[in-house]
Amino acid sequence: MNDKDRRSMPLFGIGIVMKLTELTARQIRYYEENDLIHPERTKGNQRLFSFNDVDRLLEIKNYLDKGLNLAGIKLLLTDEDSNVEKTEEKEKALPKEKKSVLTDKELRAILRQEITEANRFGKANLRQGELARFFVNR
């Protein structure tokens, strides 16, 4: 089993994730509803989160603090560390007509720029992989 597997292994119940991220259950579920995270489920349909999921939630929280909305964050969070099936869902969520002016790529670039900007003033923020850094010796 490699590192990637370990980090995507479903381990945590929502209660623990609430404490780790300081998000409410409502928030966590809402982010899932908006395809920002995709935790596993137990046989009985209860959410089970991986390290990656928790990291991702911390990122989301971080970006929200900076004033981004979920749509922007969704674009920003690339799929490299998520389990989402590539383009399919994304196309559904953002039909062509709505984003005709900018391509995905362009928008993403702009957003990244904004965040970089914001970072200059931002408080001491959590960064990507914070949870991992929390638990993993490096």
The string of DSSP codes covering 22-85 is T--HHHHHHHHHTTS---EE-TTS-EEB-HHHHHHHHHHHHHHHTT--HHHHHHHS-GGGS---
Look at residue 26 and give the partner it binds from DNA, a copy of itself, none, a contact being a CB closer than 5 to 8 Å depending on partner kind.
DNA
| Binding-site string for a copy of itself from residue 35 to residue 74, where x marks contact by CB under 8 A and - marks none | -------x-----x--------------------------
Map the footprint of DNA across residues 42-61, applying CB under 7 A. 42-47
Q: Is 95 in the site for DNA (CB under 7 A)?
A: no
What is the size of the binding site for a copy of itself (CB under 8 A)? 16
Distances 74 to 15, 35, 101, 135 between C-alpha atoms, Å: 24, 8, 18, 25
**Among residues 74, 105, 73, which one has the least CA distance to residue 90?**
74
Look at residue 11 and give the partner it binds from DNA, a copy of itself, none, a contact being a CB closer than 5 to 8 Å depending on partner kind.
a copy of itself
Binding residues for a copy of itself, rule: CB under 8 A, are 1, 3, 6, 10-13, 15-16, 42, 48, 134-138
